[in-house]
Structure 1
Amino acid sequence: MVSKKTRGRQKIPMKKIEKQDDRYTTFSKRRKGLYKKASELVTECDVDIAMILFSPSGKPYSFFHPTTDAIVSRFQNPDMQLSGTTGIVAAHARNTVKQLNNRLEELDTIKDVAVGQTKFYDQVAETRQRGWWESIEQLNPDEVTKFEAWLTAARFNMNYRLNQLENGASTSLGCEV
């Protein structure tokens, strides 16, 4: 059995951190965690939220969604509807957050595809090291199609680079004459 190199995640006793630098560091990390949780609440539960934090040095930090005016108005009178301008600004803020979250999901999907392609190319490189003729029979139809696409792209890139080199050589010869 392999021994653990770290102690892992452990419960930290709730007491004041005495060292000032450690206290600032812990505050920064926990603030980021609180912002992340607040953002998740907004996204998953479609709620309005406000947080105001003061750092150990007294510097204020805040998180408001959708806007400060919308939160303050709701806090002062929970049953009151937002004014026209505040409502439009709040709706725009919500729409912007939704668009950004959708874009983030798209980028996550693109990243997952890229990771999958990287794994596949690593497998292709490993196959190439063993000798493609030794293991090509083991590929399924989808892998053969991907390998063929990779070979086509490699051939195109090599031809393109060769043309660049040939054009560069003829251009440099033409300049010297």
Structure 2
Amino acid sequence: MTEWTNKGLTRHFFIVAAVAFCWFLGDSYRPVQAEAESIVVDMSVYGQLEYGDFFQQAEAIASDEIRRQFSQNPDRSDVQVVVVGDRNGEIVPILTTAVSRTQWQETPRVIVWSQYYHTSYALLQRYQEQPTEIVAKTPVRATIGTQPPSSQIDQALDEGRLSGAEAQDYLDELD
């Protein structure tokens, strides 16, 4: 009987220890909540920009936003800034910067902490390189209307729009 009691006590002891351990972990273990909020900053793009100027402007915007976030929020440990280009409502990411406060204090340069999207330059500049299309031309008939009908028929024959027989038929109708 003592053997069964010892086994029972041992079993109860392990159960109580496991419950106490789970209670301790459940009560004291709290996962750390990372500040995953991204700040999206808009960079309006007008006209033609040089490649280097385009990214320098985006870096300046990101740098200003990082400084502002760290100065306004003293408890903030890190920040992620996404600079997007906006040309006539088309939005394209230019760069993403993720940096901690200590990293920024050591090296306050956006270029060190950024991921660049180099194709964004081409996407936002593509309209500047295309020639202007002619949407409509003045119809040929509008310019011919000021000439006498026989001249119009002769011109159509010369341009190959009428055959000789068709031109003769039109001229016969005019007489």
Which protein, 1 or 2, shows the higher relative CO under an 8 Å CA cutoff with sep ≥ 6?
2
Q: TM-score range, shorter-chain basis?
A: under 0.3
More helix by share: 1
- Find the structure with the greater CA-based Rg: 2
More strand by share: 2
